[in-house]
Amino acid sequence: MIPWLHVAVAVLAGITLGAAVLTVTLRNLYHCALSLALCLIGVAGLYVVLSAEFIAAAQVLIYVGAVTVLIIFAVMMTERITGVRGEAASQQRGMAFLAAAALAACLISIVQATAWPTVLAQTSSDPSSTTLTLGRELLTTYLIPFEVASVVLLAALVGAVVLAKEDAPREGS
């Protein structure tokens, strides 16, 4: 019998990591933003495998739907005006690669060396239960952080408008 979940995780991990590598290496920023969207969709698939349906839906709506579009708008606004393509890569690519590879090796060796709890790995959960539990938790245990998050979003909204808008015209004009 084929372990379908293993196959799904392998495929999703391949999509996610491949698109992530393209995101950080491609020179055209449009293509970077599009592969970022693909990578985020792969992460949403991983959430589905981990039976986190609400997080997966939020990921698609917020990251793929909003953040990627925002990034593409920013790319258009900062490239179009002069027509100059921003040179994407820097001189320190070798050092950056070494640092990232060392970090990855360090993290993976720690992950493999630690004895993680595997108690509940075998239970298959009810598809609707995680969303129900999450909603109840958000409005009981995490009520104050939930409300603070809405204030943070409002502050970020106002701050982004203030930062990005044109300077006010001088008095009398």
Two tokens at 173? 């004009």
Subset of 47-76 contacting other proteins (CB under 8 A)? 47, 49-52, 54-55, 58-59, 62-63, 66-67, 70-71, 73-75
- Nearer to other proteins (CB atom), residue 133 or residue 168: 133
What is the pattern of x (binds other proteins, CB under 8 A) and - over residues 12-51? -x--xx--xx-xx----x--xx--x--xx--x--xx-xxx
One residue of 87, 128, 144, 171 binding other proteins per CB under 8 A:
87
Q: How far apart are CA 86 and CA 21, in angstroms?
A: 19
Two tokens at 36? 């970022």
One residue of 11, 78, 127, 147 binding other proteins per CB under 8 A:
78
> Which contiguous run of DSSP H or E holds residue 153?
helix 143-164
Subset of 102-161 contacting other proteins (CB under 8 A)? 103-104, 107-108, 111-112, 116-125, 129-130, 133-134, 137-138, 141-142, 145, 149, 152-153, 155-157, 159-161
Q: How far apart are CA 71 and CA 153, in angstroms?
A: 18
Q: In b/e form, how buried is each residue of 87-112, taking b as 16+ CB within 10 angstroms?
A: eeeeeeeeeeeeeeeeeeeeeeeeee
